[in-house]
Structure 1
Amino acid sequence: MKLNGNEIRPGNVIQHKGALWVAVKVQSVKPGKGGAFAQVELKDIVSGTKLNERFRAAETVEKVRLEQKDYQFLYAQGDMLVFMDNESYEQLELPIEFVGDRADFLQDGMNVTVESHEGKPLGISLPQFVTLAVAETEPVVKGQTAANSFKPAILENGIKVMVPPFVGQDEKIVVDTNEITYSKRAD
């Protein structure tokens, strides 16, 4: 699908200079002299490099639609993570680096969404919140209120987060996988 240069919006994925780019910031500029243009900050989906580009209204770019498919995490095998397509039951193996530091949040049976273009996986999104048990933290101190003081805790998956003083060892908490922060106590 073709887009005019002035129709690019943040979040759009476009084909530009032989690569796939996501528009991060878009600013319309109307200089006193010459025609208006869109100043667009682009981020390469594969490598993560950034690029600032000017697009005039008359220029066209190719907007790309990424396919999103739901997968279920099965298990880790060496340096690879194995996922199963929820519809066809086909398995997909991705390197741990593909998920990055959030790979520790993967739990057996967890549903994730894999974004791909022409059959090549480009990104993965985990559920925003996961429930984990606190494996190690300082003991609860009576009379200490839930003020702005936090203490370090190590979760069952080995990740360190800061938790309120009232959270004790073996308690289950909800963690935000995007920010890697404590969210609330689990019910």
Structure 2
Amino acid sequence: MTAYSGNSLKSGIKILIKKQPYEVYSSEFIKPGKGQAFVRIKLKQLLTGKLFFKTVKATDLFYSTDVVDIEASYLYNNGSIWFFMHKKTFEHISVLKTFLFGYEKWLTNLSSCVITLWREAPISVRIDNFVQLKVYDVDAVISGDTINSDNKLVTLETGAIIRAPLFIKKGDYLKIDTRNGKYISRIVK
């Protein structure tokens, strides 16, 4: 295990706090005019996906954790368990829905993702920030009703429902931001 002092924590480092794995998102070293230096860090709790801020002393020690990221492809699910295939070993990995943190609505067959393992068990799945999905169905828009609405509800091939501009029609491909579920653009193929 590698030890890190509070002032050596950098973005991307994975550490243990109270026997739980965390990932450092950002850190800011602060040396006030009076008093002891401290570090304000933004952490992600890897088991729950929650982000929060923590202030630590610059001299506090933190230990690295045995977290491993592997590249995988999505295969299928049974409603509560999602199945993936390791890209190098072709081994199948099963992940509980709770560790997908809402990303399951953006997964299509063979979607690439990164699975985080802690103590050889999957604890989270991350996908690309942007995905391309086909429009499966669109809400009907009443002709001339563009004053009340500038967008409509669209159902994507994965079952996810988002808001998209009025010109989007069934069969179009859309670029979607998976972090907030928003329409980015239409893709011409």
TM-score in terms of structure 1 length: 0.81
Whether 2:104 is the aligned partner of 1:112: answer no
Q: Residue 50 and residue 155 in structure 1: after superposition, are their counterparts in 2 closer, same or farther (change >3 A)?
A: same
What do the CA deviations read for 1:11-47 (whole angstroms, capped 9, x no partner)?
4321122221223443322233332121334332213
Task: Name the Cα RMSD after superposition.
Answer: 2.6
Asked if 2 retains the 8 angstrom alpha-carbon contact of 1:161 and 1:181, the reply is yes
| Deviation for aligned residue 1:81 | 1.0
Paired-residue identity, %: 18
Structure 2 counterpart SS, 1:183? strand
| Deviation for aligned residue 1:2 | 2.1
Asked if 1 retains the 8 angstrom alpha-carbon contact of 2:107 and 2:158, the reply is no
Whole-Å Cα distance in 2 between the matches of residues 93 and 26 of structure 1?
33
Letter in 1 for 2:127: L
Structure 1 counterpart SS, 2:168? coil
Structure 2 counterpart SS, 1:114? strand
Alignment match, 1:23: 24
Asked if 1 retains the 8 angstrom alpha-carbon contact of 2:80 and 2:96, the reply is yes
Alignment match, 1:130: 132
Gaps of 5+ in 2: none
TM-score in terms of structure 2 length: 0.81
Letter in 2 for 1:136: V
Alignment match, 2:54: 52
Whole-Å Cα distance in 1 between the matches of residues 101 and 33 of structure 2?
46
Alignment match, 1:38: 39
Whole-Å Cα distance in 2 between the matches of residues 130 and 160 of structure 1?
14
Gaps of 5+ in 1: none
What do the CA deviations read for 1:85-139 (whole angstroms, capped 9, x no partner)?
1222211111122213221222122222112233122221123312222412235
